[in-house]
Amino acid sequence: MTDAPDVGELTPPNRTLMGPGPSDVHPRVLRAMSTPLVGHLDPSFIEIMQEVQDLMRYTFRTDNKWTIPVSGTGSASMEAAIGNLVEPGDTMLVPTNGYFGGRMASMARRAGGEVVEVDAPWGEPLDPADVEDAFETHQPDVFGFVHAETSTGVKQPNVPELTAIAHSHDAYVVADCVTSLGGVELRVDDWDVDVAYSGPQKCLSCPPGASPLTLNDRAMDKVLSRETDPRSWYLDLSLLEGYWGEERAYHHTAPITNVYAIREALRLVAEEGIENRWARHLDVARSLKAGVEAMGLGLNPEPDAWLPSLNAVRVPDGVDDGAAIDYLLEHYDLEIAGGLGDLAGDVFRIGCMGHSAREANVCYLVPALGEALEAQGADVDVDAGLAAMRAEMAE
Ligand SMILES: *Cc1c(COP(=O)(O)O)cnc(C)c1O
């Protein structure tokens, strides 16, 4: 047998996280995570569950009773949404304009659904007219779209228009709100979204582990009247209802520490006020955008599809994106990311999420990015970038 490995104390580098997630965690959330464990059926924990659900409803802007943290990362709440709502034989309409629409398709197929697509290029939002056409052609039972596409930095505008199209065809709407919840305007009830899911480590600035999910009664009725059980036992909402609903009976052990964490993260949202929080993300991202644009870099999406929480900045000609990303990590302990899929090599993805959405972070990032590009001989005007960034901050 091997000897005991000689593993040193855990000393991760102290990064500034401005990539596509995770974002910097608020110190209060880290503190909440170091508080003592209680049992998952402890009366004190039942109270905490209630508080988390109330805070989550506030953040989603919904009165949905079925609002819970799903154990796992954003993909777990995503699979809980799709795996429960889509029944074998159902048709789900998904978008092709980014990485996460593709993941929706995989999950719908695994649930036994048939997948049909509505097309838009990577870097552009869906056009409601195309969604209408797809409904006419395929009559899907479920329509999924990505509100904030982290792979392309695109925010889907006209959400109420999309949900109205789906509902006029008696379909259910599932919205991926992983990179919008708590950072970008999102109104689940007013916009008539049937099912919305999110993750903790984007605009909520909480470590991954417990992921927000909300379903309205109409969607939950479909889930509870399924003819066949969903394929996942762990994510079966009819069973999770026993724990998160009135009964509070054991299904699986809740990730207690992650529930503490999201409680504190959501408490920070409530303290700030959800609308103030949306405004802060917008203001800080505007300074970032002004800075990079004045430096000579372009943002990839059209202005009406710009996603403040994830800025897709075009890589200048002749620059190796990977080398610039490595430069920032090495010299500044600063994390940003490159493009995915159709945009690989074409954009930097710069997050402006939650606790990372601060002016101080933008002041740190803009000159550092400029330096990383200049190190490769790119023609950028860092001084102009800084001046525009400061002017925007003074607005
Ligand atoms: C991050 C992300 C997910 C998946 O979340 P994980 O926490 O990585 O499982 C899903 N959708 C979007 C839009 C995301 O940004």
Could you write out the DSSP letters of every residue in 101-141? HHHHHHHHHHTT-EEEEE---TTSPPPHHHHHHHHHHH--S
Instruction: List domains and CATH numbers for the chain.
Output: 27-271 (3.40.640.10), 274-394 (3.90.1150.10)
Q: Distance, CA 69 to ligand 1 centroid (Å)? A: 15
With a pLDDT cut of 70, the percent of the chain lying above it is: 100
Q: Distance, CA 40 to ligand 1 centroid (Å)? A: 26
Residue of 77, 79, 100, 151 to test ligand 1 pocket, by largest number of atoms within 8 Å of CB? 100
Joined together, the tokens standing for residue 353 give 């999420």
Residues framing ligand 1 (Cβ under 6 A) = 21, 73-75, 78, 100, 146, 150, 176, 178-179, 199, 208
Sign of CA dihedral 219, 221, 226, 230: positive
Q: For the residues 18-34, what does the mean pLDDT come to?
A: 98
Ligand 1, residue 76: give the atom nearest the CA: 9
- The mean pLDDT of the chain is 97
Give whole-number Cα distances, 111 to 84, 97, 100, 301, in Å.
Answer: 8, 22, 17, 33
Residue of 181, 202, 205, 258 to test ligand 1 pocket, by largest number of atoms within 8 Å of CB? 202
Contact 202, 353 (CB under 8 A): yes
Contact 388, 293 (CB under 8 A): yes
Residue 395 pLDDT class (50, 70, 90 cuts): confident
CA distance 141 to 172: 6
Q: How does pLDDT run across 285-336, given as a tens digit for each residue?
A: 999 999 999 999 999 999 999 999 999 999 999 999 999 999 999 999 999 9
Q: Which residue has a Cα nearest atom 14 of ligand 1?
A: 178
Q: Helix, strand, coil % (nearest 5) of the chain?
A: 45, 15, 40
Contact 131, 81 (CB under 8 A): no
CA distance 98 to 301: 13
Ligand 1, residue 78: give the atom nearest the CA: 10
Q: How does pLDDT run across 131-151, given as a tens digit for each residue?
A: 999 999 999 999 999 999 999
Residue of 78, 149, 154, 340 to test ligand 1 pocket, by largest number of atoms within 8 Å of CB? 78
Give the Cα-Cα-Cα angle 106, 72, 57 (nearest 5 degrees).
Answer: 100
pLDDT of the residue at 294 = 98
Element holding 256 (H helix, E strand) = helix 256-272
Sign of CA dihedral 331, 334, 340, 342: negative
Q: How does pLDDT run across 27-80, given as a tens digit for each residue?
A: 999 999 999 999 999 999 999 999 999 999 999 999 999 999 999 999 999 999
**Residue 120 clears pLDDT 90, i.e. is over it:** yes
* DSSP secondary structure letter of residue 11: -
Q: For the residues 231-236, what does the mean pLDDT come to?
A: 97
**Residue 1 clears pLDDT 90, i.e. is over it:** no
